[in-house]
Every structure is written in structure tokens, then in C-alpha cells.
Amino acid sequence: MNTLEQWLYEQAQSSRDLVLMLDSLDHLEERIALSNELGAAHYRSLYGGTAANSLAQSGPFLFHIGTVRHPLIQVLLNAPERHWGWLGSASHVDLDTLSAHWRARIVTGERPNQAVYRVHDNRVIGRALAHLPPEQHALLLGPMASVCYWHADQWTVTDNPDPGEHPLPADPPWLHTPIPEQVYANVLFDNAGRYLVGEHTEAMAVLAEQFDVDDWIWGQVQLSQLWGWQQPQQVHFLLTQGLKAPGFLPPKIWLPKTGEDPAAHFERVYQQTLYLQENGVV
């Protein structure tokens, strides 16, 4: 048996229920089909009821699947490189309890500097669990007894040493997982697109009349890396203020000065923009 088959066998032997964490945005057809066939009692939209509620229909869905023999699930399992999500197990699944756990871990930070943590992405979960010491796995996995996911081109299993309800730490350790630069840029691009389309729909429609939206967002992501603006509030500022800037381009006063470090650069631009807005200049 391969790793996935062995994991499924062990969950059955332990009389655990199976759940599927599914990315709806890139696997909408599968999500709709599973929702229709399993019924409302067997799934939850994880963005629903969170600060990302406007993206609920394109966000992650958690399914109580019972078995992986369903043809649609078999299609997913045969194509793990599509990064559709991951499988989990729990004793006596309570979807409301599981959903509450993951919803508490989806949105990080305080308004207006919030970011979405992609709990449904097998790459994100894989990096986090590889980074965390085993004694912290329960803080992330909560009621899940075990998870199986595609990571580093192979099926990987992580067992939870202490399944149950765990409060969200004040400073979640998984948010400090090192992310390769290119991976970070891709994730940031993906999150930025979802956020802007959901929260700044009209401005994005105007932008689309002049620019290729993906090219513009990617340009902002590259600019954030070039300037060293990596904190959520810095990226949020760059994106939202960029939508308000003339021609959707950063003003010349935003350019870093010689010898100016990223923190000082951001604070200067932030204060200048705040002053101009308060005085009705922009």
C-alpha cells in the first residue's frame, strides 16, 4: 500500500470519520457536485461568517465524506498535483465544531489590516506542519485526529498528538512559517486577487478598463517585494492605495529614498498619504 492507502486503512481501523477540505475557487464543479449529492448537512463553507464572507462561495468547503469511493473524490485523489486541498479524520465528526476551529484560523490580524490564511491549501498546511514542532500540531489541527496531504511531491501524513478543541494562540506559530520567496509571491498574488475582487469590486472594474488585472496585481506584488513591504498592513496599503492613485501607478513621492529602510519608507509614505487625504488633496 502507498502512503494514502495506508492512511485510509488506519483511519478505518480506528473507526474515524473522514473529511475533505476542498478549494472551491479552482475546483468549483467538484464542490457543487459534492454539495448537491451529499446534502447541506454534510458540508460547511468556511469563509461564511468570517471577515472573508463575501468570498464564501469561492472559498474552502469542509465536507464530511464518510468514504473516498465517490467517483469525484477518486478523481481528486488521482491528481494531487492540482492542489485541491487535503483529507482529515476525526472521531465522531461534528462539522460545526470543526468549522468553528478552522474559521478561527482563516482570518489573521485586525481590521483594516487583515489577511486570509489559506487553511485549505495543502502546500500551506504542509509547510506549516513541517515547520511546527510536534507539540504545536494540536494548536493548528484542533479536533482533527490525523491529516493526509500532498507535500513536496508525495503523500504525507501528520497525526495530531492531542485532538480536541484548542484556543487560538495570541500569536499563532504557524504564521511564522518560512515561505520561499517565489511561493510567497504566488500566494500573495492569489490572495490579493481574491480580496480586491471581493472587497473593491467597482475599483477593480475601472482598473480592468485600462490594464490587465492580473498584470497589475502581479506588479504590485513585485513592488512589495522590491520595497521590502512584507507585513500584511503594508501590502494592504499598497494594494488599496494603488487603486486610488492616478493612473493606478504609485506617485513619485512613494519611491524609497537613498538609505531609507523598508520600515521608515513605509511610515513616510503612509503618513504623507494620510495627510494628503485628510486635507482633501487626494
Phi and psi torsions of 272, nearest 5°:
-65, -45
142 in Cβ contact with 93 (< 8 Å) = no
Give the best-scoring range by mean pLDDT among 3-7, 29-33, 123-127, 234-238: 3-7
pLDDT reported for residue 117:
87
208 & 129 share domain = no
Q: What is the largest CA-CA distance in the chain?
A: 68
Q: Residue 108 has what pLDDT?
A: 77
Residue 82 near residue 26 (C-beta atoms within 8 A): yes
| The pTM of the whole model exceeds 0.75 | no
Residues 194 and 274 in one domain: yes
Buried b (16+ CB within 10 A) or exposed e, 148-174: bbbbeeebbbbebeebeebeeeeebeb
- Number of other CB atoms surrounding residue 244 within 10 Å: 12
Residue 32 CA to residue 222 CA, distance in Å, equals: 35
What's the pLDDT score for residue 110?
Answer: 66
Identify residue 125 by its one-letter amino acid code. Answer: I
Task: Say whether both 172 and 186 belong to one domain.
Answer: no
- C-alpha to C-alpha distance for 194 and 24, rounded to whole angstroms: 12
Sheet strand arrangement including 17-23: 43-45, 60-64, 17-23, 85-90, 146-151, 154-159
Is residue 281's pLDDT more than 70?
A: no
Percentage of residues in the chain with pLDDT exceeding 90? 64
Give the closest residue to 123 by CA, choosing from 171, 82, 161: 82
Same domain for 211 and 112: no
With beta carbons less than 8 A apart as the criterion, state whether 175 and 118 touch. no
* Overall number of domains in the chain: 2
Residue 230 burial (CB count, 10 A): 13
Last residue of a domain, which of 176, 194, 215? Answer: 176
280 has pLDDT over 70:
no
Same domain, 225 and 149: no
Question: Are 172 and 187 in the same domain?
Answer: no
- What domain range is 240 assigned to? 181-278
Q: Per-residue pLDDT tens for 69-119?
A: 989 999 999 999 999 999 999 998 899 999 999 999 998 766 655 678 889
Based on the domain organization, do 161 and 52 belong to the same domain? yes
Final residue of a domain: which of 128, 157, 176? 176
**Per-residue pLDDT band at 59 (split at 50, 70, 90):** confident
Residue 230 pLDDT greater than 80, yes or no: yes
pLDDT at 279 over 80: no
Inter-residue contact 88 to 144 (CB < 8 Å) = yes
Band (52; pLDDT cuts 50, 70, 90): confident
Is the domain of 155 the same as that of 195?
A: no
Provide the pLDDT for residue 120.
Answer: 94
Q: Is the pLDDT of residue 272 over 70?
A: yes
Q: Model confidence at 164, in pLDDT bands (50, 70, 90)?
A: very high
Residue 99 pLDDT = 95
Task: Let me know whether 248 and 263 are in one domain.
Answer: yes
Domain boundary among 176, 211, 232: 176
Which residue type does 8 have?
A: L
Query: Mean pLDDT over residues 50-65, rounded?
Result: 87
- Domain match, 24 and 145 both: yes
Quick one: 131 and 204 in the same domain? Answer: no
188 and 150 in a common domain = no
In sequence order, what are the beta bridge partners of 20?
63, 87
- Say if residue 282's pLDDT is above 60: no
Whether the pLDDT of residue 139 is over 70: the answer is: yes
Residue, of 50 and 164, whose pLDDT is higher: 164
